[in-house]
A and B are shown apart, each in its own frame.
Chain A
Amino acid sequence: MAKEYLVALFPRTRRVMINGQYMGITNTKLELESGPYEVTLGPPDNFTPEKHDIDLRDTASLKPRVVVFEVAS
């Protein structure tokens, strides 16, 4: 089955949670099935936004869907 590609950017290395499941780490490319997902990061809870609701489709390995988290002030 065709796969889609996702990258969660964050200035630090942190766990990436997909629908609450530990799926990989920030700043690396993840390979997932297409469809809607909730993307967030693992603890500590010092990032913003709290989550990204995405519909993962129409990506390519060299053009993954990128979601950006920043350090919360």
Chain B
Amino acid sequence: MRKYYKFWRVFLASTLILFTGCAHYIVNEQSREFDSESGYRFDAIDPGPHNSDSLFVCLMFSGGGTRAAALSYGIMEALRDTVIVVDGQEKRLLDEVDCISSVSGGSFTAAYYGLFRDRLFEDFRVRFLERDIQGSLAGRLFNPVNWIRLASPYFSRIDMAAEFYNSDIFDAATFESLQGEERPFVILNATNLGANRRFDFTQEYFDALGSRLDLYQVSRAVAASSAFPYLLTPISLKNYPVAEGYTPPWWYEKALTTEDWITERYNAAKNLKVYLDKENRYIHLMDGGLSDNIGARGILDALDRGFIRTRINQGAIEHLVLIVVNARTQSEDQISRKEKPPGFFTVAEKTATVAMDNYSYDSVTELREALYRRVQTQKNDQACVALLSEYCPEAPKPILFPVDIDPYVIEINFEAADQIPGEDPRYYLDLPTSFKLSKEQVAKLIAIGPKLLQTSPQYQCLLEVLAAKEEGRPRPEACPIGAGIFP
């Protein structure tokens, strides 16, 4: 009998060591050859037959668990149901979406649409939105087999979550599948804990890591984007030597001159340098919301020096439409109504959220202001040409932009629900941030999305301007260029 117990003790100990030793997170693959024209990058993605550059649409999906995923899903339904005519071609506004930049909960909707397109409207509600994702993750946590795996220092709760997302939501898809699709280009944002900076799952970042994104599971990128601190753990990536023939992006060259240290270009170059420094052998990623809870920074980068900037300068973009789907909540201010100062937990919660809320607000403001500055510059140029023509017709005219752009920044948030009859913003502003909402809550979130979009004066201007243009009518007086930002 004693011999029997001894056998089992040895067997169990060996099994534990074996499983623990084997359990390791999926390591990203090394890239041997650099090709700047392939991989998951905007310029390598086929626009598709219904997508024009002249109407350039980017969506931003914020964090906020299932609440954010459901609101962004509602907006996707609204874009699907909005029919527009561009260059004589009737199409859905959804077909004109060129990019989606997402964070945390919003990344589930973005990645699902990126991979499965209109299947989003068939089964995403059942597979994700109406499901108790938290319960499913907790169920795995209580499985004894996973206890053994979790004992490994190289396998953690986030890897278990990524496995679940991979098998139950994303059908084991890798970025190769995303790459094979047409636009939109999906930017899944996470936060690099080592550098305290935004990281996105695009080949440009993976080039700097000397790694192949095409072989990486989309579920792991979404898991990193939504790895809520403390509840989940970081997703780790290996930083390899760069592939043979690697050249950094065009804007990186000479960007790190000390004279320019206050510029965004310098900051972006410094961010990329983190990955080119091979002393940083591993990158540990958590929730994208820690560095940008709106997904706006990826779009700002594209506007400053990425695929939006090149297309603006090339004269390809006429209408630039940025739709921010912001599922932020705001509890009623009870603090200011009490004489007693707030306690430990309230202060802790405020410490974690105040800076991020302000940063998110600033990001959207920066988008608006950057585009409005462009509008003002265009107006100044036109005014100068008109004055010269009137008072000094012989004088040389200033050189103009290839195309004057007509920008729109459309922000969807729950505060605007007070403009919708029968809706109470407080219902939405008090919803929790979790991966478990009731079917009723999900249904209400999905339904409010299209209503909020319709309520936006910027969105109404966009539809009126597109319709007028297509019908050969003059631009509506109520919607001059710039009204898409500040109506």
Which positions in A face B, CB cutoff 8 Å?
1, 3, 7, 18-25, 27-38, 61-62, 64
Contact = CB atoms under 8 A, between A and B. Distances in A.
Interface of B: 250-251, 253-255, 257, 260, 263-266, 304-305, 309-310, 312-315, 370, 373-374, 377, 380-381, 384, 398-402
Contacts of B401: 28-29, 31
Nearest to A25: B402
B62 to A, nearest CB: 22
B402 to A, nearest CB: 4
Contact of A23 (B257, B304, B314): B314
B402 A33 contact: no
Contacts of B250: 18-21
Interface centre among A1, A25, A30, by most B CB within 10 Å?
A: A1
A25 B382 CA distance: 20
B254 A30 contact: no
A-side interface mostly? strand
A33 B304 contact: yes
A21 B252 CA distance: 12
16 contacts: A1-B264, A1-B370, A7-B399, A22-B314, A23-B310, A23-B314, A28-B399, A29-B399, A31-B313, A32-B309, A33-B264, A33-B304, A34-B260, A36-B257, A61-B377, A62-B380
Nearest to A9: B399
A54 to B, nearest CB: 11
Given A19-B251, A61-B377, A62-B381, A25 B370 contact: no
B314 A34 contact: no
Contact of B254 (A21, A35, A61): A35
Contacts of B255: 35
B305 A24 contact: no
A64 B269 CA distance: 25
A24 B402 contact: yes
Contacts of B253: 19, 38
Given A20-B250, A62-B381, 18 more contacts: A19-B251, A19-B253, A21-B251, A22-B314, A23-B313, A24-B402, A25-B314, A29-B400, A29-B402, A30-B313, A31-B401, A32-B313, A33-B251, A33-B305, A34-B260, A35-B257, A61-B398, A64-B399
A62 B266 CA distance: 26
B262 to A, nearest CB: 10
Contact of A36 (B254, B314, B384, B398): B254
A21 B251 CA distance: 9
A35 to B, nearest CB: 5
Give 6 closest A-B pairs by Cβ, nearest first: A21-B250, A24-B313, A36-B254, A19-B250, A28-B402, A33-B265
A32 B398 CA distance: 18
B260 A27 contact: no
Contacts of A32: 309, 313
Contacts of B373: 3
Contacts of B305: 33
A18 to B, nearest CB: 6
A33 B309 CA distance: 10
Contacts of A25: 314-315, 402
Nearest to B374: A31
Interface centre among A22, A28, A32, A61, by most B CB within 10 Å?
A: A61
A61 B315 contact: no
B312 A31 contact: yes
